[in-house]
Amino acid sequence: MALFGGKPGVKKGEMVYAWTTDSEIAKRAECGGAVTTLLKYALEQKMVDAVLAVKRGQDIYDAVPTLITDPKELTNTAGSLHCGTLLLSKILAKQLKGVKDRKIAMTVKGCDVMGILELAKRNSVNRDNLYLIGVNCGGTVSPIKAMKMIQEVYQVDPMKVTKEEIDKGQFIIEFEGGHKGISIDELEEKGFGRRTNCRRCEYKVPRQADLACGNWGVIGDKAGKATFVEVCSDKGADLLSRAVKAGALATEAANPKGIEMRQKVEGAMLKLGEKWRRKDFGALKGDLWGTIGRETARCIKCYSCIENCPVCFTSADYLKGKSFMVSPGEVPPNPMFHLRRFAHISDTCVNCGQCEELCPMDIPLALFSHAIRVEGDAIFEPKLGKSAYTN
Ligand code: FAD
Ligand code: SF4
Ligand code: SF4
């Protein structure tokens, strides 16, 4: 750890345990409260004009993206919402006009980062105006499915659940009168657990953000009380160092055994992602296009998949009736409605799952886009991936 203005500062590539000195944040935070404290510090110091984070709405199933300009409000955003399946990248492009006129600090999962980078490539988001505080992500659970799972598998009224957490491979709920944990493997065998795109996700530690924060690898007396922070950019190093220097955060070097443990867990999660890819893509039995034809026959052409995809952007108007290949008012739409979108995002699908999550007809769109992406990678960039559905 280097010295920063007389106090310890961090550099890109370093890994530290960090914890907040703010007692209110400490009470509500998932681990050490480093994420909330960094966001708050950046806003207080006017390094940014606003913070984009996620807060709990009516209940644990209701994750609400929120734009904050008053640092005092940040405490309300502390804590992880695993039933929060939202994607923040498109908000930047749509509601925040590409963050071209202001600076924003925000919390990002792997898919949020990938969506932002794709939008930045299209000049739809200004990456330079962003502080990206990454959180490791093992996956999210769809809110409706989570309620069904809690009712049927946990045999608990989902409305009585006051807290959920994922710890040591278990999804744990707290409710009036007790708590119960069941392993995610067991839940997934029963058809519940994480969203299918999350199971196939192989981006667990968001190293393209400025900082990657998580709970994996925090051991010893700091277990559960500190956030593991990997410093991924000079910008991240500067923000963290300043917050430490100001006394907002305390840090110590990460325990080498903890670092090793974190690497092992990350490796195991990547293997699990690979296993799910084989299973899901294998289930297509080499008939991807036939399956697409059958499944999309129930499409009601609501445009939700297009509106919510972080990479399907510029063609939205084109697809909305201006295309020569899709007639306006035709339901179900001509297969070109889907094929054109799949082709258009085939090299950039980030497997965020928004298309599938928000499709009112439950069409497994993310599976199709992801299979096409991986198949394309296998053909054109063999180093990136294996054949998706032919292997
Ligand atoms: P806090 O100070 O409590 O801040 C948490 C931040 O997360 C807040 O800014 C909040 O707005 C934001 N947030 C909450 N829910 C969401 C959401 N659904 N989408 C986007 N942002 C959200 N760490 C691991 O090491 N392994 C994991 O497998 C893992 N899985 C995770 C899955 C999810 C869905 C999330 C949100 C986080 C996960 N984390 C994981 C990260 C971990 O839970 C903590 O967020 C991290 O350690 C930071 O802790 P903290 O106390 O500093 O965060
Ligand atoms: Fe997390 Fe990956 Fe799912 Fe995004 S796609 S919520 S990064 S597991
Ligand atoms: Fe069709 Fe589903 Fe897309 Fe709506 S979200 S246009 S129903 S595929």
Query: DSSP 3-state assignment of 296?
Result: helix
**Span from the CA of 295 to the centroid of ligand 3 (angstroms):** 11
Beta carbons within 10 angstroms of residue 189's beta carbon? 10
Contact 106, 132 (CB under 8 A): yes
Ligand 3 pocket mutation pick from 302, 306, 323, 367 by most atoms within 8 angstroms of CB:
302
| 353-391 pLDDT per residue, tens | 999 999 999 999 999 999 999 988 888 877 666 666 655
| 187-222 pLDDT per residue, tens | 999 999 999 999 999 999 999 999 999 999 999 999
> The tokens 């084989």 sit on which residue?
278
Q: Does residue 142's CB lie within 6 angstroms of at least one atom of ligand 2?
A: no
Residue 369 one-letter amino acid: S
Residue 89 one-letter amino acid: S
**Span from the CA of 363 to the centroid of ligand 1 (angstroms):** 29
Q: What is the pLDDT of residue 9?
A: 79
Q: Give me the chain's average pLDDT, please.
A: 91
Nearest CA to ligand 3 atom 5: 359
For CA atoms 191, 196, 202, 206, give the dihedral sign: negative
**Span from the CA of 202 to the centroid of ligand 2 (angstroms):** 8
Q: Which of the ligands is closest to the CA of residue 319? A: 3
CA-derived radius of gyration, the chain: 21
Q: How far apart are CA 181 and CA 54, in angstroms?
A: 24
276: left (phi > 0), else alpha (psi -120 to 50), else beta?
alpha
Q: Are strands 170-175 and 63-68 parallel, antiparallel or unpaired?
A: unpaired
CA dist list (Å): 224 to 140, 208, 251, 255, 261 = 20, 25, 14, 14, 15
Q: What is the pLDDT of residue 322?
A: 55
Of residues 311 and 172, more confidence is placed in: 172
Q: What is the pLDDT of residue 340?
A: 85
Q: Is the pLDDT of residue 324 over 80?
A: no
Please state the rounded mean pLDDT for residues 303-313: 86
Q: What is the pLDDT of residue 387?
A: 67
Q: What is the pLDDT of residue 344?
A: 84
Q: How far apart are CA 97 and CA 101, in angstroms?
A: 8
Q: What is the pLDDT of residue 6?
A: 45
Q: What is the pLDDT of residue 341?
A: 87
Q: What is the pLDDT of residue 327?
A: 76
DSSP for 188-236, written as a single string: HHTT-SS-HHHHH----S-TTSSEEEESTT--GGGTTTSEEEEE-SHHH
Which one-letter DSSP state was computed for residue 49?
A: S
Q: Is the pLDDT of residue 352 over 80?
A: yes
Nearest CA to ligand 1 atom 28: 138
- Cα–chain center distance at 374: 19
Q: How far apart are CA 336 and CA 325, in angstroms?
A: 7
Q: Are strands 130-135 and 211-214 parallel, antiparallel or unpaired?
A: parallel
Q: Does residue 126's CB lie within 6 angstroms of at least one atom of ligand 2?
A: no
Please state the rounded mean pLDDT for residues 47-53: 98
> The tokens 């980030």 sit on which residue?
350
Beta carbons within 10 angstroms of residue 70's beta carbon? 9
| 57-90 pLDDT per residue, tens | 999 999 999 999 999 999 999 999 999 999 999 8
Tokens of 155: 């045999």
- Above pLDDT 90, what percent of the chain? 79
Ligand 3 pocket mutation pick from 294, 298, 303, 330 by most atoms within 8 angstroms of CB:
303
Strand partners, 214: 228
Please state the rounded mean pLDDT for residues 330-346: 88
Q: Is the pLDDT of residue 323 over 70?
A: no
Q: Which of the ligands is closest to the CA of residue 362? A: 3
Of residues 1 and 193, more confidence is placed in: 193
